[in-house]
């Protein structure tokens, strides 16, 4: 894709003042009307605009200008840029040409009908509309609701198919149905926890108490064993003293 000419009117001013090119040649190169170029030469158009040298900008060569000066039918060729600048990312709602703005409600109706998963912010980005307009179309309160017809925004030229597919993909990722949710561990409510705790306490009342029996109590068994050990040590010490 050829990069557009930088400052075409200022370039035309320079070409009029510094070359012998015809008005038609300058107009074709600068995408202007020949009468507009003639107005520049007469001083009626572009008053106060300083000329810009396209040779210094790297968009023309001196040889190209000289070739065109020798042949009035020759058309100047714009040089390919040596360095390409990445296009700036668009921020905010998409700009919609005036000729297409009347079609936005039809596009909104199509998006709401065919892609209900799209959020209002996504529709705003796609067709460059407002939330109030989206609500009025969705609720059929738009002033022209009776005459609206759902139309594909891509066909209308309001957005590209790539942009539409991207927004639909994003909306699909964000919408997770109940069947698609992970069946992981869930937290119990306070009522469930209390009911389970009460049931466990009730069942423990009927359970045998193994800690109260003399034969089975681990504490008493430990105490008995300790007494036997100390008694044995005392007897050994008394034997040693004697």
Which pLDDT score, from 0 to 100, does residue 3 have?
A: 62
Under the banding of pLDDT at 50, 70 and 90, the label for residue 64 is: very high
Rounded distance between C-alpha atoms, residue 130 and residue 165, angstroms: 21
Segment 67-79 mean pLDDT: 90
Tell me the pLDDT tens digit for each residue of 172-186: 876 544 443 444 444
pLDDT of residue 50: 85
- Tens-digit pLDDT profile for residues 28-62: 999 889 998 898 888 887 777 888 899 988 889 99
| pLDDT at residue number 71 | 92
Closest CA to 50 of 7, 79, 4: 7
User: How far apart (Å, rounded) are the C-alpha atoms in residues 181 and 189?
Assistant: 19
Average pLDDT over residues 194-206: 53
What rounded mean pLDDT belongs to the chain? 75
DSSP-based helix, strand, coil % in the chain, nearest 5? 55, 0, 45
Question: Mean pLDDT over residues 209-225, rounded?
Answer: 48
Does the structure show a pLDDT above 80 at 187? no
Is pLDDT above 80 for 152?
yes
Say how many CA atoms lie within 13 Å of 148 toward its Cβ: 26
Percent of the chain predicted with pLDDT > 90: 24
And the tokens for 194? 């209390």
pLDDT of residue 78: 86
The pLDDT score that the predictor gives to residue 129 is: 86
Mean pLDDT in residue range 85-90: 52
* Region 147-169 average pLDDT: 87
pLDDT at 211: 46
pLDDT tens digits, residue range 97-142? 555 567 889 999 999 999 999 999 999 998 888 899 999 999 989 8
DSSP state of 142: S
Q: At what angle do helices 8-18 and 34-42 cross, to 10 degrees?
A: 60
Provide the pLDDT confidence category of residue 70 given band limits of 50, 70 and 90.
very high
| C-alpha distances out from residue 51 to 4, 23, 25, 40, 137, Å | 17, 16, 17, 11, 50
Closest CA to 18 of 62, 72, 84: 62
């Amino acid at each position: 894709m050829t990069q557009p000419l930088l400052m075409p009117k200022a370039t035309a001013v320079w070409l009029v003042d510094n070359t012998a090119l015809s008005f038609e040649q300058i107009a074709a190169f600068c995408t202007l009307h020949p009468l507009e170029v003639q107005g520049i030469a007469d001083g009626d158009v572009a008053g106060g605009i300083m000329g810009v040298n396209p040779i210094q900008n790297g968009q023309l060569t001196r040889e190209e200008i000289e070739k065109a000066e020798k042949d009035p039918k020759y058309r100047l060729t714009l040089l390919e840029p040596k360095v390409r600048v990445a296009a700036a990312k668009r921020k905010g709602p998409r700009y919609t040409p005036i000729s297409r703005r009347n079609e936005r409600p039809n596009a909104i109706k199509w998006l709401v009908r065919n892609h209900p998963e799209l959020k209002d912010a996504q529709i705003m980005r796609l067709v460059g509309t407002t939330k109030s307009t989206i609500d009025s179309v969705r609720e059929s309160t738009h002033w022209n609701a009776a005459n609206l017809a759902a139309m594909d925004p891509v066909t209308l030229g309001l957005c590209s198919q790539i942009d539409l597919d991207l927004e639909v993909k994003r909306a699909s990722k964000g919408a997770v149905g109940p069947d698609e949710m992970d069946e992981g561990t869930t937290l119990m409510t306070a009522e469930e926890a209390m009911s389970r705790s009460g049931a466990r306490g009730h069942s423990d009342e009927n359970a045998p108490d193994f800690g109260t029996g003399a034969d089975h109590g681990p504490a008493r068994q430990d105490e008995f064993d300790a007494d036997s050990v100390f008694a044995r040590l005392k007897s050994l010490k008394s034997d040693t003293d004697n």
